[in-house]
Amino acid sequence: MPHQLLVPTPAGPGLAPRYRDRPAAVPRNPYLRLFVLPGTRAFTAGNLIARLPSGMFGISGVIMISAAYDSYALAGSVAATGLVSGAVAAPWVARLVDRRGQARIAVPAAALAAAGQVLLALCVLGRTPAWALFAAVALTGTAPNAGGMSRARWAHLLRGDPAALHTANSFEQAVDELCFMLGPVLAAVVCSAFFPEAGTLLAAALLLAGVLLFTAQRSTEPPVAPRTSAGSPLSAPGMVPLLAVFLATGAIFGSMEVTALAFVDGPAAGPVLALQAAGSCAAGLLYGRARRTAGLAVCLAAMTLVMTAPLLAARTGSLAALAAGLLVAGMATAPTMVTGMGLVQRLVPPDRLNEGMTLAVTALLAGVAAGAALGGWTADHTPDPALGFVLPVAAAALALALCAATGVGRRGAVRT
């Protein structure tokens, strides 16, 4: 019996012959083949709009709060509060998505998060006391994990076809990197071209509009899976060690960003940092075409190696060398994240998929926050800013050690 691919039909998912049985109608490019499936273009477009604000809210908030209150400390504290709020609320929102469906939960959750961002902008415009800013930003934590919901749709549509699912996961990681490249640039341009609060207001509008467009595509929405377990995804074998690896991996990104900003210290910092995301995006697309995926331990070993590139480049004192080093360093990011998210999809039961992926993102963001804090302390207390580039290497080595010690990475290699 030939391999088959699930294709949505009016009565639900149906079986259709694999693409190779219709070579004249289906493109050979594995990424283009994904979008032959009905409804995939529409939900991807809506999801892209919904995810773009994730790269906008942080810099928009810092710009508008620092401009109004003349305090980067306050702006940073408010931004950190938003991250903590998301870390607390996001897994609960994801659990409701698993239990009630994407459309029923994501729309009101996005509406509440967008309202919180608008309220935050109004508080800044009115120069309210600082406590009001913290109260407003706490509402924004209900923003649904748009990337996780998109990956859940691919997992549903492509179940039984690990090759196509690997390509889809690689595409989703490339989209993540694209949003974090374009989001900050768009936010900075809008805030400077119009008024400081414009970036936050635009991001809130994009979030709500994107979620509405995404959830309107009901034909590709995965059905609510019957409850197969009473416990949390944390009870799945291997999930806790994997989250520890995600935590250490997040510290790589947080420490790298702050260290690079402190090293460059100027308007060139944004474009230089964007090269790391560009390297990750390109590597992710190439990884999606691979005939065989690497294990998580292999990816982390590669990441530990390439993270030495910015360290060596910074020792030269050359900005061009650092830019090239960051480009190289980014090339291990997407393969690592694709492999890690693929592991989450295999470890957690289907009725907990959104919650499991959201827990992984939460662990990653917690690591980013910890890495950023450590990177900031190092930048302030060491005479040579290049020393901070030791931190991403150390964090990558820690992630690799955790992976090897727990054996979770051995579940990562999948023949496609």
CATH number at residue 324: 1.20.1250.20
Model confidence at 308: pLDDT above 50: yes
What pLDDT is stored for residue 113 in this prediction?
A: 93
Side-chain-side CA neighbours of residue 171 (13 Å): 24
Boundary residue ending a domain (199, 223, 247): 223
The answer as to whether 264 is a domain residue is yes
The per-residue pLDDT for 72 is 66
**73/138 same-domain check:** yes
In whole angstroms, how far apart are CA 39 and each of 152, 153, 170, 215? 14, 11, 19, 11
Residues 411 and 365 in one domain: yes
Does one domain contain both 237 and 212?
no
Same domain, 206 and 258: no
Q: What integer is the mean pLDDT of 82-93?
A: 82
Percentage with pLDDT > 70 across the chain: 87
Asked whether residue 257 carries a pLDDT value surpassing 60, the answer given is: yes
* Across 17-26, 49-58, 116-125, 186-195, least confident range: 17-26
In a domain, residue 7? The reply is no
**165 and 305 share a domain?**
no
**Domain closes at, from 223, 243, 269:** 223
Q: Which of 164, 194, 223 is the last residue of a domain?
A: 223
Residue 21 lies in a domain: no
| pLDDT on residue 415 | 41
In a domain, 378, yes or no: yes
- Position with higher pLDDT, 61 vs 290: 61
> Could you tell me if 214 and 310 lie in one domain?
no
Measured distance CA(189)–CA(55) in Å, rounded:
13
Report the pLDDT value the prediction gives residue 271, as an integer from 0 to 100: 75
Domain match, 208 and 323 both: no
Q: How confident is the model at residue 369 (pLDDT cuts 50, 70, 90)?
A: confident
Task: Give yes or no for a contact between 113 and 142, defined as CB atoms under 8 angstroms apart.
Answer: yes
At residue 207, the pLDDT reads 94
Pair 254, 399 in one domain = yes
Number of domain units in the chain: 2
384 has a pLDDT exceeding 70: yes
Q: Checking DSSP bridges between strand 12-17 and strand 4-9, what pairing results, if any?
A: antiparallel
Mean confidence (pLDDT) of the chain: 80
Which pLDDT belongs to residue 380?
A: 74
Establish if 39 belongs to a structural domain.
Answer: yes
315, part of any domain: yes
Task: State whether 143 and 259 are in the same domain.
Answer: no
Q: Are 278 and 171 in the same domain?
A: no
Higher pLDDT, 9 or 68: 68
Average pLDDT over residues 375-381: 78
**CB contact at 8 A, 359 and 233:** yes
Residue type, 291: R
Q: Please give the average per-residue pLDDT across 44-58, as a whole number.
A: 87
Q: Examine the domain organization and report whether 252 and 385 are in the same domain.
A: yes
Host domain of residue 392: 233-416
Give the pLDDT of residue 286: 80
pLDDT of residue 303: 92
The reply to whether 268 and 408 lie within a common domain is yes
Does residue 358 lie in a domain region?
yes
- Categorize the per-residue pLDDT at 16 as very low, low, confident or very high, splitting at 50, 70 and 90: very low
Tell me the residue type at 61: G
The CA–CA distances, whole Å, from 374 to 47, 229, 255, 392 equal: 33, 38, 7, 11
- The better pLDDT of the pair 122, 416 is held by 122
Element (H, E) at 77: helix 72-100
pLDDT at position 264 over 80: no
- Answer whether residue 43 shows pLDDT above 60: yes
Tokens at residue 345, please? 């999809």
Q: pLDDT tens digit string along 311-358?
A: 999 888 888 898 899 899 888 888 888 888 888 878 887 777 777 878
299 contact partners, CB below 8 Å, separation of at least 6: 332, 335, 336, 339, 340, 412
Q: Report the pLDDT averaged over residues 52-81.
A: 80
- Select the more confidently predicted residue: 247 or 349: 247
Q: Is residue 11 part of a domain?
A: no
Q: What is the pLDDT of residue 29?
A: 77
Q: Which helix (H) or strand (E) holds 211?
A: helix 198-215
